[in-house]
Structure 1
Amino acid sequence: MSTTVDTSIHRALDRAFAAAPASDEAQDLKEEVRASLMARAADLEAAGAAPAEAARTALAEIGDLRDVVAAVADGPADDAGYAALLSAHRVRPRPAFVVRVTLAAVVLAGAAALVALVATGVLAWSAGAGTALAVVAGLATGVVVADALRQETTQNYPLPGGRALGFGAASAAVVTALGLGGLFAADLGRIWLAVAAGALLVAGVLGFVVLGVTQTNRHKPWTVELGRQAVGQDRFTREPEAAARFGIYSAALGLVAILAFVVLTMTVGLAWSWLALAAVVPLYFLLLARMLFPAGAGARGSAS
C-alpha cells in the first residue's frame, strides 16, 4: 500500500470524524471504516489502479462519510480532554519504520562514538578514517530525520518527500560538520577539516532556514482546532510572522558565532575562541526579549 493511498484515506477520515464525539464508539467506527477503505484500495491497486485513483474509488464506493459519522455524532463524549482526543486520533508507528530508525540510530551512535575516540586520540586512526566516520554519522542522522518526517503521526500528516529529504540533508550536513570540527580541534594543523566543516555547517544552517521559512501547515484538523481553543497571549502566537523572523535571526546569530569560533580558533587559538560562543547566549536572550516585547508595546497598551 502506497503512502498516497494511506494519506488520502487518513485525511478523508479525519475531516469526516472531526465533529464526532471523543468516544470509544466513534473511534471503533473510524478504525473499522479505515480498515475497510484500506483493504478495498489495496484490492484496486492489485488490479492495476494507480494509488491516487484507488483511494478515490474506495472513498466513492463507501459513499458520504458524513452519513457514516452521523451514527455516532449524537452520542455523548467519554472525555472532552486532550487525552481523549489524543486517543481518538492516535496513529501507531509502522513496524518497518521502527526497525529502520532503530538500525539507523545504532549506526549513528556507533559512528559518533568512534569519531569521538579518534578525535581524543584514544584510537590512533587516520584523519581520513575519522572523516569517513563523521560522514556515516551524518548520513545516519539524515536517514532518521527524513524517514521520521515522511511518517504520519497522531498530530501531523506526512511531510512531502522533497521537503523531508531537504531536512534530512540539512541535518546530515550539520552533524557531519560537528564531527569534522571535533577532528580539527584535535589536530589544528589540518585546515581542510575546518574548511569542510565550515562549508557543511553554513549549508546545513541555510537549508534549515529556507525550509523553516517556507514550511506550511501539516497539522491535522483536530490539532489545529485544539490550538485555536488555547491561543496564548505571547507575540509569537498572535503574530506568526514575528516567530518566523525570530527563527531567521536566531539562525543567523548562531551561524555568525560558529564562524567566529572557527576563525578565532585558527588565529588566536582554542583558549580564546570559545568566547565567541559564550557571547551568543546573552545576545540570544536579548533578541528573544526584543522580539517578544518590542519597543513601544507598553506605551501602546497604556494608551489603549
Structure 2
Amino acid sequence: MGDPAGIGPEIVAKAMADPSIQDRARIFVIGDRGRLELAMDVVGSALKVNSIGQPSQARFEAGTIDCLDVPSVRPDLPWGELSAEAGHAAYLFLEKAVELSTNKEIDAICTAPLNKAALHAGGHKFPGHTELLAQLTGTDEVSMMLTAPKMRVIHVTTHLGLLDAVARIDGPLVYRTIKRGYDLLIRSGITNPQIAVCAINPHAGENGLFGNGEEAIKIEPGIKQAQAEGIDAFGPLPADTVFFRAGRGDFDLVVAMYHDQGHGPVKVLGLENGVNITVGLPVVRTSVDHGTAFDIAGENIADHKSLLEALRQAIDLAPPRPEGK
C-alpha cells in the first residue's frame, strides 16, 4: 500500500477494481484494512474488503479486494501529511511482503509509493524502497531499472550525490549492472538484447578533452567484460543522444551512470506509464515511478495508470505457478 497518508491507498483501490488485471493473476493488498476502506470511500469504490491473515485465505472473487491486514495507523490519520506513523506503517507493509516472498507464498511484489522523509521519521534510515528491499532480503547489490513506453533504463548508481556517484562507478560495477539488465531481458523473452552504455562526461569525454579519463578508466572495462561474455553492449556513448536512439528502437536497454541521467528521459516520456523494477532481488519487485503526492492525497485526483502498468510488468516477470498452487 505504500505510505498510507499519500496517494497509495487510493491508486490501490482504483487498480484493484480493474478486471483486466484481476483476470491475469491472483492479487491481494498488504496494508492497513481501515485505511484501504477509507480510500475506497474516497474513490467511490463499490467493492468490498475481505480481510485475511494469510494468502491462503484470499478469495480472489469479483467485487472483492482481499487485504492482508497489517493494522498500523489510527483511523483519523490525516491525508497528505508527513508522519512517522505512516512511515513506519509503509515499512511494516514491505516487511510483511518480504516475509511472504521468502516463504514462497507470493511470487512478486508491486509497491505503491512511500515517502523517504516519513520512512526516516519512522526510524528506518533508508533512501527508499530499493535499498530497504535489499536489506530485508539480504541482497548485497541490486539495480534500479525504469521503464517507459519505448525505453528501459538501468542505473549504475542511484541515490548518491553526483560527486559520490562518479567516485563509486568502476568497471566491475558497470559490468554487474549490464549483466543484471541483460539477464532480466533474457528472462522476459528478449533474445540478444542490444544494450547502450552511457558516458559520464559530455560527448563521452571527447577523447580525453572533457573530464579526467572516466570513460576509459571507469566504464570501458565493464563494457569489455560484458562483450567478452557475448553480450551486445555498446559505449560509452554520449548521453545527449543515446536516449533518442533508444526511443527510436536502436537499443533494448540503456545503462545510465547516475540518478538524473537515467530518470530524466524516462520521466519526460510520462510518469503515468513509468515503472520502477528492482533488478537482482530474489523476488520480482515492481513499483510506480512517482511519489506519494501529498498535495492531492485523499482527493480522488491521483492517476493509477502507473500502478496498473507496474502490476502488469510484475505479472509478466513472475514465474508461473503450477496449476492449483
Q: Report the TM range for the smaller structure's normalisation.
A: under 0.3
More helix by share: 1
Q: If you compute each CA radius of gyration, which structure gives the higher value, 1 or 2?
A: 1
**Higher RCO (C-alpha under 8 Å, 6+ residues apart):** 2
Task: Judging by fraction of residues, say which structure has more strand.
Answer: 2
TM-score normalised by the chain length of structure 2: 0.23
